[in-house]
Structure 1
């Protein structure tokens, strides 16, 4: 292959890769170093168009408190997108929906629901809800996921 053609192809590939990277949605994930399901949830986000900034923490309770996660909503990891919290194994579609909800401080999948992203287990899934925390401190069910 002639050098000008090779350079043109490499340039096109590089430009395409940069454009794809620019389209990724940035999100910060705070997690404990020893949590395997957190890494699986991060993979779920990355497979759904997010650019994850992974922060390994030594005191997740302090992180949750700083970000305003109510104890009733706690799970194992906490993310931040557009200044709002995402607590636990929230599906990517609900993280995207949160970005359009100015009335919510964040969303959570409390506990560690079996079958939620990162908690998949042999095709078994428990029913769970994604809860939104409104600015007035009240909760709202933003999504229901059935058992199967």
Structure 2
């Protein structure tokens, strides 16, 4: 009898976890690295809802992405923005920090997810942003 109760609870927990990894990605139709970042997310267990947009500035404005943190695509998870080539593991970190409204990898650093080109990796940081506009470093990646 216990097994019958635990199995539905296990599956309910898995369904909740799957729902929790759902992310919307807004991207320009002409951007190839955006598609590569989406592949990175899918490879790491995210269910991606891909939205092709012609007015990315409006999307960034809607979700509060400051211009200085801008990149080529914007993800949204749990109402928080994920700007640019943020690694999947750092998106999970963002979700655990209620004070943050988003995270960004400004620009398009080589070696970040979706920007892999050979063995080169530029140094970059994942920047968190809170509701008062204060920035903090969520993670740092060294150059190789």
**TM tier relative to shorter chain:** 0.7 to 0.9
TM-score with structure 2 length normalisation? 0.87
Question: Size of the alignment, in residue pairs?
Answer: 131
Higher Rg: 1
Offset of residue 135 of structure 1: 1.5
Give the structure 2 partner of residue 23 of structure 1. Answer: 18
TM-score with structure 1 length normalisation? 0.85
User: What is the root-mean-square deviation of aligned Cα atoms in Å?
Assistant: 1.6
Give the structure 1 partner of residue 139 of structure 2. Answer: 143
Give the structure 1 partner of residue 85 of structure 2. Answer: 89
Superposition map of 1:108-123 within 5 A: 108-123=104-119
Where do 4+ consecutive residues of structure 1 move more than 2 Å? Answer: none
Residue ranges of structure 2 left out of the alignment (5+ in a row): 1-10
Distance in 1 (CA, whole Å) between partners of 2:139 and 2:106 is: 13
**Alignment counterpart, residue 79 of structure 1, candidates 75, 79, 84:** 75
Offset of residue 92 of structure 1: 0.2
